[in-house]
Amino acid sequence: MSAPSVLERIRALDAYAPGLSIAEIRRRHGLEKVIKLASNENPLGASPLAQEAIRRNAGLAFRYPQGGNPRLTAAIGRLHGVAQGRVAVGNGSDEIIDLLIRMIASPGEHNIVCCEPCFSIYPIQARISGVALRRVPLRPDFSQDLDGLAELTDASTRLVFVTTPDNPSGYCPAREAVARLAGRLAEKAPQALLVVDEAYMDFAKDEAALSLLHAGELPENVAVLRTFSKSWGLAGMRVGYGILPAAIADGFWRSRLPFSVNVLAEEAALAALSDHAFRAATLETVREGRRMLAEGLSGLGCQVWPSEANFLMFRLPEGRDARACFEGLLGRGIIIRPLRSYGLPEHLRVSVGTPGENAAFLRALGDELAAGARP
C-alpha cells in the first residue's frame, strides 16, 4: 500500500511548542480571569498609536501590500542608521530565520552551528530543511561557549546562531566577545554568516553597550535580527526585521514570499516606531518588573538566573517538581512556560508582566509551594 506522505525528517520532527493560550486555560479550568506570562509578550499590550493605525487602515484590507514594504524598511534603516538596502522585514523574525537557512545552507552539503539549548526555531527550521546541525552545550551557568561555537565550525559551515540576550536564560554576552567570534569565523569559516538574534536586546539595562547595532559598522559576516513582537508590542501582527550584509539582503528579497508582511502589520509597525511614550513606558515597566520578580522569586527560595530580557528563568526550591508546579499555577489562572521542550525539565520561565500580574504570579507561586508541589 502506498499513499501520499511527508518526508521522513518531517515525520520525525518535534514541532515548535508554543505557550498555552488564555482561551485554552479558561475553558480547561473554568476560570474567569487568566494571566499569561508565557510568551514574552509586551506587558502593556499594543501601542495606542499602532491600534489606531490598524483601525484607520482597516479599509485597505482589500489591497495587496506594497512589494518589499519600502516605507517600513526605510523607517527601520533610519532607526538604526543603516542603508535601506540592508534591511529585511518578514512575517516575524521567524520567517527571516527560516529563509536565511533555506537560501544559504544546502542539505547534505553544509552545516549550521548553534547552542544547546537555544531558541528552538533555529534547530527546527534547520531540520525541516534537512541541513546538518552542530550543537555546543551552554556552560553550567548558562553562558554561551562562543569559543566552542567557533571550534565546531569548518569550511562547510554556512550559519552560526547566537541569541543575545539568550532565550530561555536571559544571559547576555559582552559585545566584544560576540565581535571576537565574528572575527574568528571570518578566518576559519569565511563563508559562514553569524546571525546575532537581538530579539530582547532593547530590554537590556545598557543596550548601547551590549548591542552590535550600537558599535559602528557591522562586520561583513554578521546579520542582526530584531522583532516587533516583544518591546514593540505587536506579536500577533507578525513583523520582524534584520540588518543583513547587502548580498544576503539581495538574496532575501528574491526568496521571500511577496506579501508576507501584510498591510495592517506594516501600518502598525510604522505607527509603533513613532510611539515614543509607549516604548519608554514599556522599557520602564519591564526593567522595574524584572527587578521585582527576581526579588520575589528569590524570596520564595527559587534559584533565579540574571536576565537582560523581559523574562526570568528559575528553578524551584529543592524537592519541588517543576511540571506539577506549572500545572498547579494553571489551575490558579497563571500561565508560565515549562522548559521541557528546551531540554530543561527542572527549569521554568516567566515573562515580566504588569506590576499587578507580577504580584499575582508571586502570590500564586507562594500558595502553590505552600500547598506542596512535590514530585
Which spans of this chain sit near ligand PLP (rule: CB under 6 A)? 40, 92-94, 119, 163, 167, 197, 199, 227, 229, 235, 240
Which CB atom, from 231 or from 358, has the smaller least distance to ligand PLP? 231
Q: Which single residue brings its beta carbon nearest to ligand PLP? A: 92
Q: How many residues does the chain have?
A: 375
In angstroms, give the least distance from the CB of 2 to ligand PLP: 37
Q: How far apart are CA 223 and CA 218, in angstroms?
A: 8
Which CB atom, from 15 or from 155, has the smaller least distance to ligand PLP? 15
In angstroms, give the least distance from the CB of 328 to ligand PLP: 25
In angstroms, give the least distance from the CB of 214 to ligand PLP: 19
Full DSSP string of 305-374 = ---SSSEEEEE-STT--HHHHHHHHHHTTEE-EE-GGGT-TTEEEEE---HHHHHHHHHHHHHHHHH---
Which CB atom, from 17 or from 235, has the smaller least distance to ligand PLP? 235
Q: How far apart are CA 238 and CA 128, in angstroms?
A: 21
Which CB atom, from 22 or from 235, has the smaller least distance to ligand PLP? 235
- CA distance to 16, 206, 212, 322, 357, per residue, from 28 (Å): 22, 41, 44, 20, 21
Which CB atom, from 128 or from 359, has the smaller least distance to ligand PLP? 128
In angstroms, give the least distance from the CB of 135 to ligand PLP: 16
In angstroms, give the least distance from the CB of 230 to ligand PLP: 6
Q: How far apart are CA 82 and CA 216, in angstroms?
A: 10
Which CB atom, from 172 or from 373, has the smaller least distance to ligand PLP? 172
Which CB atom, from 239 or from 362, has the smaller least distance to ligand PLP? 239
Q: How far apart are CA 47 and CA 273, in angstroms?
A: 9
Contact 198, 225 (CB under 8 A): yes
Strand partners, 338: 348
In angstroms, give the least distance from the CB of 247 to ligand PLP: 23
Which CB atom, from 144 or from 229, has the smaller least distance to ligand PLP? 229
Which CB atom, from 40 or from 157, has the smaller least distance to ligand PLP? 40
In angstroms, give the least distance from the CB of 198 to ligand PLP: 9
Which CB atom, from 76 or from 373, has the smaller least distance to ligand PLP? 76
Contact 89, 70 (CB under 8 A): no
Distance of CA 81 to the CA centre of its chain: 23
Residue 264 three-state SS: helix
Contact 245, 220 (CB under 8 A): yes
In angstroms, give the least distance from the CB of 232 to ligand PLP: 10
Which residues, in sequence order, are CB contacts of 338 under 8 Å at separation 6+? 322, 323, 326, 345, 348
Q: How far apart are CA 366 and CA 297, in angstroms?
A: 9
In angstroms, give the least distance from the CB of 197 to ligand PLP: 5
- CA distance to 101, 150, 214, per residue, from 185 (Å): 17, 6, 21
Strand partners, 87: 243
In angstroms, give the least distance from the CB of 30 to ligand PLP: 30
Q: Strand 240-243 and strand 87-90: pairing?
A: antiparallel
